[in-house]
Amino acid sequence: METNKVKQIKPFYVMDVLERAHAMERAGAHVVHLEVGEPDFDTPEPIRDAAIKALTDGKTHYTNSLGLVELREAICQHYLERYKVTLHPDQIAVTNGVSPAMLMAFAALLDDGDEVILSDPHYACYPTFVRLACGAPVYVRVLEEDGFQYRTAAIKLAITPRTKAIVVNSPANPTGTLLDATRMQKLADFGLPIVSDEIYHGLVYEGTEHSILEFTDNAFVLNGFSKTYAMTGLRLGYLIAPRQYIRGVQKLGQNLFISANTVSQWAGVAALTQCDADVARMCAIYDQRRRFMLKRLKEIGFGVAVEPTGAFYVLANARCFGADSYKLAFDILEHAHVGVAPGVDFGPGGEGFIRFSYANSIENIATGLDRIERYVRELGFLNL
């Protein structure tokens, strides 16, 4: 039995793919994973050492519900050095990953029926969090020919008296594209709260990422350590909120989560203060993989009109191979033994696309794309 609220939540299709891939692996198949956005790197040594030291020193008790002040101060310093933005530690709530931060941001912002503008395509879980906060997602299509960028005129048409926020994600999942400073300023100029998902900051290969806080204080920033620092399993994120909202955010955190994982928080301090060289190394390797994947996808016949410049994804046009991206993704998995993400997972605007992740070794990427090339050749798509 499902409640009406649960019935509104669609499956996270990439997890359907991953779970089927795991079942195939248990049956003896070798599957190349290009579906999930999880770094394949080991967590850098200073982060591991800090976590071990925290355990050894007995730092395993609750922290302040907003998080360790040492970590919040390090986040403030990080935003000052990178974006020239001044924050106060009391504007920051540390969370067990970015998902709780997302839930708290929307819960703090929305009353029943309030609207949130999302791009289409978008990160698959945004609508779920909006709905759980009793809000209503409103989608604005972003087009391949526009580089999957918001058109400000389209946003203006979507705004109603119930609109409470605009969500931006730069670098973006699933497209890997960046918003430039001019476009971010135009979004801020609408005067609405901006919810800015900055989880892929630090993973940029061309251009410069900007925090929304460079353009407005009327913003909620979602960020964390999973992607840039290869810390997915340590579940550490944070929310930066305007001061007038932080007490509401704190009450939510106290009731729902008490506090974030203490050991992970000490690891986060080390990430921000000791791991710049590790991030630079990982970023350079991602860039090599990105260039290799783009070249091979085009050779196979996928359309990549907009080359990604951040995160670790390519959203490739696959309409020449099939209009149903969910069916195509599972067909590729079953016949080529390669996991990929169906574009429809990211909204109706993603239908006809396949998302490939290059958070895997270049050897595995090469193997996976070779298998896909054989798959499309055998189905007669390529005359090779």
Same domain for 145 and 216: yes
Same domain for 287 and 266: no
Are 182 and 174 in contact by the 8 Å Cβ rule? The answer is no
Residue 354, classed as helix, strand or coil, is strand
* Residue linked to tokens 């945004």: 126
Query: What dihedral angle (degrees, nearest 10) is formed by the CA atoms of 291, 293, 299, 300?
Result: -170
Q: Which domain holds residue 66?
A: 45-275
* Alpha carbon of residue 330 to chain centroid: 23
What residues have CB less than 8 Å from 87, skipping those under 6 apart? 75, 76, 79, 80, 213, 240
Give the pLDDT of residue 384: 34
* Distance in angstroms (rounded) separating the CA atoms of residues 231 and 278: 12
In this structure, is residue 106 part of a structural domain? Answer: yes
Same domain for 62 and 16: no
Q: Which of 226, 256, 275 is the last residue of a domain?
A: 275
Domain count within the chain: 2
pLDDT tens by residue, 323-370: 899 999 999 999 999 999 999 999 999 999 999 999 999 999 999 999
Same domain for 172 and 34: no
Say whether the peptide bond before residue 44 is cis (omega within 30 degrees of 0): no
In this structure, is residue 311 part of a structural domain? Answer: yes
Q: What is the DSSP letter of 90?
A: G
In this structure, is residue 50 part of a structural domain? Answer: yes
Give the pLDDT of residue 2: 80
Q: Please say whether the dihedral angle defined by the alpha carbons of residues 264, 270, 276 and 282, taken in this order, is positive or negative.
A: negative
In this structure, is residue 212 part of a structural domain? Answer: yes
In this structure, is residue 314 part of a structural domain? Answer: yes
* Distance in angstroms (rounded) separating the CA atoms of residues 307 and 206: 10
Give the pLDDT of residue 6: 79
In DSSP notation, 24-39 reads HHHTT---EE-SS---
Same domain for 147 and 87: yes
127 is written with which tokens? 């609508």
Q: Which of 218, 250, 275 is the last residue of a domain?
A: 275
* Distance in angstroms (rounded) separating the CA atoms of residues 260 and 231: 14
In this structure, is residue 384 part of a structural domain? Answer: no
What residues have CB less than 8 Å from 27, skipping those under 6 apart? none
Buried b (16+ CB within 10 A) or exposed e, 166-180: bbbbbbbbbbbbbbe
In this structure, is residue 331 part of a structural domain? Answer: yes
CATH number of the domain where residue 269 is located: 3.40.640.10
Residue stretches of the chain with pLDDT short of 50: 382-384
Q: Which of 275, 297, 329 is the last residue of a domain?
A: 275
Give the pLDDT of residue 147: 87
Same domain for 150 and 21: no
Q: What is the pTM of this model?
A: 0.94
CATH number of the domain where residue 311 is located: 3.90.1150.10
Same domain for 56 and 186: yes
Same domain for 295 and 174: no
In this structure, is residue 383 part of a structural domain? Answer: no
Give the pLDDT of residue 3: 83
In DSSP notation, 134-187 reads T-EEEEEE--GGGTSPPPHHHHHHH--TTEEEEEEESS-TTT-----HHHHHHH
* Number of alpha carbons in the 13 Å side-chain half-sphere of residue 318: 30
Same domain for 175 and 128: yes
* Residue linked to tokens 């605007």: 349
Same domain for 373 and 238: no
Give the bridge partners for 136, in sequence order. Answer: 115
Same domain for 155 and 301: no
Same domain for 372 and 311: yes
